[in-house]
Every structure is written in structure tokens, then in C-alpha cells.
Amino acid sequence: MTEDNFLNNIRSPEDLKKLSVGEMYQLAEEIRVKLIETVSENGGHLASNLGVVELTLAIHSVMDLPKDKIVWDVGHQSYTHKLLTGRCGLINTIRRENGLAGFPKRQESEYDSFNTGHSSTSVSAAFGIASGSTISGDKHYTVAVIGDGALSGGLALEGINNAGRSKENLIVILNDNKMSISKNVGSMARYLTSLRIRPTYLDTKSRVHRGLNKMPVLGKRLSHIISGTKRWIHKNFFGHEPTMFEQFGFKYYGPFDGHDIAQLQTALQAARRVEGPVLIHICTIKGKGYEYAEKDPRVFHGISAFDIETGEPKSSSKGYSDVFGDFMCRTAQDDKKVCAITAAMAMGTGLSDFAKKYKKRFFDVGIAEEHAVTFAAGLAVENIIPVFAVYSTFLQRSYDQILHDAALQHLHIVLAIDRAGIVGEDGETHQGIFDAAFLNTIPDTTVFAPSSFAELDDMMYQALYETQSVAAVRYPRGGELFIPEDYKYNKSDYSIYGNTDADLLIVTYGRLFSYACQTYEEMKKNGIDVCILKLNRIKPVSDDAWAAASGFSKCFFFEEGIKCGGIGETFGIGLYQRGFRGHFFLTAIEGFVPQAKVDSALHRLGLDAQGMKEKLLAEITEWSDEKYGEKEKA
């Protein structure tokens, strides 16, 4: 840390413009210290933010913000952007309940021009913003910052394909750090490597034009002619065909050192003078400035609170992802047809060991969830058993492929849906609350919901060997919760726990079974009998499960998923269609869920033990005097 504290004096990008390049490097040092301190306490995305400090300073010092717009692809690398746009004093609240979001958020600041959280959206969004400014007559520059990993997502290429045909003031900055979350894979990664090692195109081009302009009479005219024949220039002067991006219609500048502020400023200023779309290719180091993050950027991509001195997490425990990974390794050892697929998430989904042990049967397709599902369907045609491990929030992108390419053809693929339900501090864009509802609409699909590690093993086996067509197993982030010792999973479609002679029935599935059991114990202390029906297979719901529920007076369904189209809604409709005469109450999620710790979010949604108890007591108040007496009512 330097004696001068520049960061505390930055209220907006206008303050940044007053600094020299040398002072900006001192500011960059302060920012890195602030980022490391903040993420070590709050958790979050560290390596990606450390890698774009100089780039963010260059953008904010050259562009006219907030008139000019920035779209951060994925958005997890926007912490420095927040520090420079009047939110430094609130950075300690990032990813906390009611605090700053860990991603750009339009409701939070006029400097956040587009909400992001999923990959590969920036070019399309920025092109739309630029086109909108042209239509409205309010011309400005739009910058899209996209990582090299995001280029494997089809939407990024769709955006580049369309934007390249335009004349909009669009600047795409390709942040090339050879990483997404896992190491980048595929042809795009190899292509960018070839660009990094070629002679710098921009420098060569400038030297040629300077030389021609000095020639008397014909020099300037020849320079103009050559400028109009780019393919000829590349082939004859530089020995290379135009870059892929130039073939799409972009002016290509780079690659540049992404940590050289002056060089980045020059590139941005040059891009502002160009009519039409420009792509600036920069190379950065993910995790720069913090030894542990540079050494292992995968671990420090998204990390919980950690000790700065050692780089070790402050707490760690076995989670569902680890149990899934162990199951996959054991199963692959015995069955040579089992394959694993991930979309740049080998570590996050627990497949790191599988990737090492079974290289020929492990497929990291990059950030391409749609491709992953259709690729899995192709494997299934050859009687291979593909397991696609994916976060619930990212599976949303694959709806059409699940429906059209797998279920419609009755192809047996297995979806291991990690981070199902509330995930916590990453907020609205990452909550896994929609998968149960959208899978519920797809015919020929089976969905399991384990409540413990042991059930995850059993249900994965069922999905692999006892189902046909599409099978999914959805499980939450983190570890298992309380399960009563006298509860045993019977490998059937549903389980009954508690007093079957009770008037009150709780129906739920997955992680919420633990809270239901706690509620059962609390109600029992008050002399109120409750029974629990746990759905093990949530799609299709078993006729026997409906039959078992129909004998109760009041049925309370609690669901850690979206209400509209969810399992609870289906269950309630099915009950009444089968002649249920009692009362059905559904507590599920409506709308998007903001960032908060998982426990806090579930409490606010009424889905924890306290919420369940309050719901039951509120609904039985009218008849509690008659049945249980004043003590239980209180």
C-alpha cells in the first residue's frame, strides 16, 4: 500500500481522469489489496477480478461514462468497476443480504448498463444498446468485455456474426486469460493461442502506412488503395489471412498486454476513432497480484471466505458435488459405458478426479450447455450412458435440447443437476429454482430429489440403470442436513415418515425434508400430530403418492422451487382430480430471489422449520381450540 490513498478519493470515473498513468498503477495496487481483503471475508469471484484491474482503469479513464455503456460478460469481474463508480464505501457489503450485488445490476447504479450473470451475453446486449442509441439519436460508444472462455458459448458468436455487419460504435474487448472456470478447451482456445504468438498486426500495419505516406506523389494514394484491400495486405505483408473477427466484419487490434494501462488507453482511443465495430484482443493473467490466485485460478475463481496469509478456506466440508464425483468414479470403474460431460465446470461439479482417471470418457465442452445436451444425446444413440453435470441455473439454456434432441427421441441421458434450489450470495441469476418446473413440462422425463448423501448415490444408480429417456437427479449446494436416525430410504417413489393417523400432512422433497422433520419434532412437543410424505421421485409423481396423501384433512406442500408450474402445483391439482376432500396449501417461490445466505433466504421464503411451523399453526387456528385446546393454539 502506498502513502497516498487514491482509491478513497475516487467518486466517479471523472476523478480517475485526473490521474497520471503512474498514479493509476498505484491505484491498481490499492484496488488489489481491497479486492483480496473483501473477498477473503465475503467470498466471491477473486481471480477474475484481479485479472481486469488495469483494463477497468483504462476503460473508465478513456470512455465517457455513464453516457458510454459497458456490458460485462458474466459480470463476476465487475468489482473494480463498482469501486470506481461511487460504491467503494459499500464494497464490504458485496454479496451480502441487502448489500451490493456480486454482478452488475441496473437497479444499483447508472453505471451498470446491463444485468449479467450467465456467460456469452455481452456482445448481443451491447450491440442492442448501440443500435438503440442510433435509433434514438443519442449516439454513444458501447463496450462489451468478454472473456475468451465465453466465446465457446454459441450466443457470443451469434452476437459477433450480427454486430460485424453493422456500422455501430461497438467496441468488443476480448479478455484472453486462457481460462473460463476450468482451463479453456476446443478450437477457439487454440485459435486465440495462434493469435497470441503471431507478430503484432497493428504495429506492422502502422509501420507500412507510415512508410508509404512518406513516398512522394503515389505514397498516400497507394496507402489508401492498400487500406481497401485488407486480405491482400494480410497475405502479402504479414503472411497471414485476416483474423476470424475481421472476416466477421470487425476491425481487429491486438493482442495487447492487458496489464499495460498506457497501451490499453491507446488501443481504446484508436477504437473510438473507427467507424463500425472494433475488437480489441488483450492478454491478462487471471488472479494477478495474489500468489495463490495466480497459482491456482480455478480454486480462486469463485471462493468462500479464506485466510489471506495461507490462501486456505476458513471452513470446508464435504458436499453433494464431492459425493457425486465419488459415485461417478466408482461407477465408471465398473461400467465402461459411463461417460461424464461438463461445461467448463469440472471442479465445481466434482468431476476433477473423473477427468484424471477416465480421460477418454470425460468431455469438457466449454461454456456450451446446449451442445452438451445434444452431444449427450448423440452418445446415447450409440448406447453410451452420458452424465451431464451442470449447475441448475445453467441448465436453463438447454431446455430445447432436452425436449427436442433427447426426450422426443426417447434417448437415455442423465442430468446431474448441481446447485438446485437456493444457492445464496450469487443472487437472482444463480438461484436454481426453475429446473423442477421446466423439467416438469417435458414428457418422458424422470426427476429424482435426494435429501442425503446416501440417497444421492442410490438415486444416481436408479437414474443410470432403472430409467429410460431423460433422467435427472437434482441436489443442493453444500452438505447434507439433519435426517432422523429412524428414517430409512426405501428406494421407492415416495416415503412416509411420522404418524399416518394425523390430520396434518407435510409434503416436500429434497433438502426441505430436513426442515419438515424438524417441524414434525416441534409440533410433536406441542401435542400436535403431523405426518410427512417425502417425494423421492418428483416427476412423474406416483399415483400411490397421491393416494397416500388423500386420506389427510390438511395437506401442506413446501417447495424450494418456483410456484408456477412446479411440483407442488402439479401435486395439488392431482389430489383434487382424484377426489381429495381436504384443504391443500402450497408454499413455494414466486419471483426472483435476491442474494442472501441460504438459511436467511429460506427463512424469508417461509421454507425453513420455523416457516413451516408457522404456516401449519396459522391454518389450524380456526379448529385448534376444538381439537387440541388453548395450550396448543398458543
Q: Which of 178, 251, 286, 474 is catalytic?
A: 286
Amino acid 218: pLDDT: 55
Q: pLDDT tier at 83 (50, 70, 90 boundaries)?
A: very high
**pLDDT, the chain, mean:** 90
Q: pLDDT tier at 241 (50, 70, 90 boundaries)?
A: confident
Asked if 369 is an active-site residue, the reply is yes
Q: What is the pLDDT of residues 251-262, one digit of tens each?
A: 999 899 999 999
Q: What is the pLDDT of residues 480-536, one digit of tens each?
A: 999 999 998 989 999 999 999 999 999 999 999 999 999 999 999 989 999 999 999
Percent of the chain with pLDDT over 70: 88
Give the mean model confidence (pLDDT) for residues 111-117. 96
Q: What is the pLDDT of residues 32-66, one digit of tens each?
A: 999 999 999 999 999 999 999 999 999 999 999 99
Q: Which of 30, 369, 480, 560 is catalytic?
A: 369
Q: Give the start-to-end residue ranges of the domains of the chain.
A: 7-197+244-295, 199-239, 320-474, 494-633
Q: What is the pLDDT of residues 383-426, one digit of tens each?
A: 999 999 999 999 999 999 999 999 999 999 999 999 999 999 99
Whether the predicted pLDDT of 233 surpasses 50: no
* Parallel/antiparallel/unpaired status of strands 537-539 and 142-147: unpaired
Q: Cell numbers at residue 614, please?
A: 408457522
Better-predicted residue by pLDDT, 184 or 395: 395
Better-predicted residue by pLDDT, 557 or 206: 557
Q: pLDDT tier at 186 (50, 70, 90 boundaries)?
A: low
Residue 429, helix vs strand vs coil? coil
CATH of 320-474, one of 3.40.50.300, 3.90.1170.50, 3.40.250.10, 3.40.50.970: 3.40.50.970
Q: Cell numbers at residue 123, please?
A: 456482445
**Residues 267 and 159: beta-carbon distance below 8 Å:** no
Asked if 3 is an active-site residue, the reply is no
Whether the predicted pLDDT of 185 surpasses 60: no
Percent of the chain with pLDDT over 90: 81
Using CA atoms, how far residue 228 sits from 237, 241, 267, 398, 510, in Å, is 14, 15, 21, 42, 63
CATH 3.40.1080.10 matches 494-633? no
Asked if 286 is an active-site residue, the reply is yes
Beta bridge partners of 619: none
Q: Which of 205, 397, 474, 554 is catalytic?
A: 397
Q: What DSSP line would sit under 541-596, residue for residue?
A: PPHHHHHHHTTSSEEEEEEEEESTTSHHHHHHHHHHHTT--SEEEEEEE-S---S-
Cβ neighbour number for residue 568 with a 10 Å cutoff: 27
CATH superfamily for 7-197+244-295 is: Thiamin diphosphate (ThDP)-binding fold, Pyr/PP domains (3.40.50.970)
Amino acid 182: pLDDT: 53
